Structure formats: C-alpha cells, structure tokens
Structure 1
C-alpha cells in the first residue's frame, strides 16, 4: 500500500478525511463506535473502536484488506481510495465536492456524484454555475425593483 501521496496523504489522513466529509444527513459526524460496529459486521473480523481510533490517528497503519474494504463500503468509496495515490487524489477532490454539496443540503446528490466521471462532474458544475448565475440575476433584479 502507498502510505503517502501528493494529495491522498497517509492512511490516517485518508480515513480522517472520510470522517470529516462523509456525514449523517443532519451534518453530524459518524462515531468511531458505529463505524467499527458496521465494519465488524461487514468484514466478519474483529474491528474494535480502539483499533479504528488507532487507524485514524496513525498509531496503526497496516490494516487488513478486509478492514479497508469494510471502511470503503461504509463510507461508499472504492477500496482504491486507500491503496493508490491517483485514485485517492481524485476521490479526495470528489469528497471535497461531497462536503460542499452536503453543506448545501444535498447529500444524496453528492453521494451519487462520487461515482461520476470527470465529464459527469463537469456537467454538474456547469449546472450549479447556471443556477447560481440565475439566482444572482434574480437577486439583482429584486434589489433594483426595491430601489425604484
């Protein structure tokens, strides 16, 4: 496994990024306990809250493939996110988009966007830009009308 990448960072940084960006619909972070429990159930192997904390903080950095697959499944990212710098960098960018969309209240759309191609993500960006432009124009018209 590649532990360091230009953008992907260490395994701990990659896991922490998932916790920071992928949130509950109400915006709260998932706890180590609930993620560890789900990973235990998904992998069929031991996966304690302490072990997850150690992975998040870099105190442990050599998890099994099944543990990483369980984490990937929980956070809905491909397992390559943990293994390869190129995909990790791309996914990190997509996670940033996911965070921005989550903050805008459209988490479900963001989760679907994670699997889109760069062209698909570009189309979404174009649509957002067009909507934002229309809203700015409408706000400007409203300000103009209020001044009259």
Structure 2
C-alpha cells in the first residue's frame, strides 16, 4: 500500500498513484481496515481536488485551523496525516464530521458503501470553473438586478464574437 506523509509545514505530500483511482468505489464488502482505507482515499481525493481560491492545495495546518475556528474537534497534524495515509484505522466520528463540513461534502461521502461518483464530478466541475475564471465572473454578478446580468451576458456574447468564438450554448431555464 502506498503511503503519503506530511512535510514539516503540514503540507500533504502527493500520494502515489492517481487521485482518480484512489477515489473509485468498489462493490466488495469491506472490513474495518478497508473502511479506514476508504476514508484515506477519499480524504486524499478531497485534498487534491478541493482547492483554495488561488488554486493551491490546503495544508493540513490550514484545514485544522479552519476546523478549530468553526468550533470543531481538536486534532493534530499527525492525526490528520494518519487519517489521510490510512495509518489511523479507527477515526473519531467528530473528526470525520468536521472534515466533511470543511470540505463541504456529505458525511456519507466517507461511507465505504456510498457511491461518490456524483460528488467527485461536482468537485471536478467546481475546480474547472475556478480554473477557467468562470467563478470570478459569476461572483461579480451577485446582487445585480436581472437587467444588469442580461447586459453582462450580452457583453460576453459580443466579446466571444469579436474573438471569433462560436456562440455560447444556451442553458435551459430553471423550471422552478
């Protein structure tokens, strides 16, 4: 089994193998050790794919500081490192709950029998939108009246035309 360690600054080391394969679900029954392995795999996936606004990975210290600021359980960098590497085989439930809250995933994400494909796809989409700058544009429209948002969209369409890009696909209206 590959191992991932934290460096002295609490930065998660890059895990061996692909993050994609680490987050895949298997249908075979799991014992306590493999339950821990699932938690470790999914934590590694989250550390790799849930990034800070600047695109950098969260360090263990940053995650623990945010959990502490939210009144979550006290954990050490070593403890979190053991969870991420799968060394820790019996994680505290409140620690798993706090990590789920920090990474904004349902607690069931860490359940060995839960299919995480949909959550992982959502994480990839958010990362892609952030990388493309779409998130910045969308955030700047918060609070604008619908007419102003329509004006911004018209400007974007015009810029696409000037740049020689094809028209953006129209998204269906929200039925609600």
Q: TM-score, normalised by structure 1?
A: 0.62
1:5 is the counterpart of 2:25: yes
- SS of 2:73's equivalent? coil
Runs (5+) with no aligned partner, structure 1: 111-130, 142-148
Runs (5+) with no aligned partner, structure 2: 1-23, 28-36, 139-155, 167-176
- Provide the C-alpha distance between the structure 1 equivalents of 2:165 and 2:67, rounded to a whole number of angstroms: 50
Cα 1:73–1:107 shift into 2, 3 Å:
farther
1:66 is the counterpart of 2:76: no
Q: What is the CA RMSD across the aligned residues, in angstroms?
A: 3.5
Cα 1:109–1:31 shift into 2, 3 Å:
farther
1:27 is the counterpart of 2:55: yes
Q: Rg bigger for which structure?
A: 2
User: Counting helix residues as a fraction of each chain, which structure ranks higher?
Assistant: 1
Q: What whole-Å deviation, never above 9, does each CA across 1:51-84 have from its counterpart, x for those lacking one?
A: 1111111111321221111001111111111115
Q: TM-score, normalised by structure 2?
A: 0.53
Which protein has greater RCO, CA pairs closer than 8 Å, 6+ apart? 1
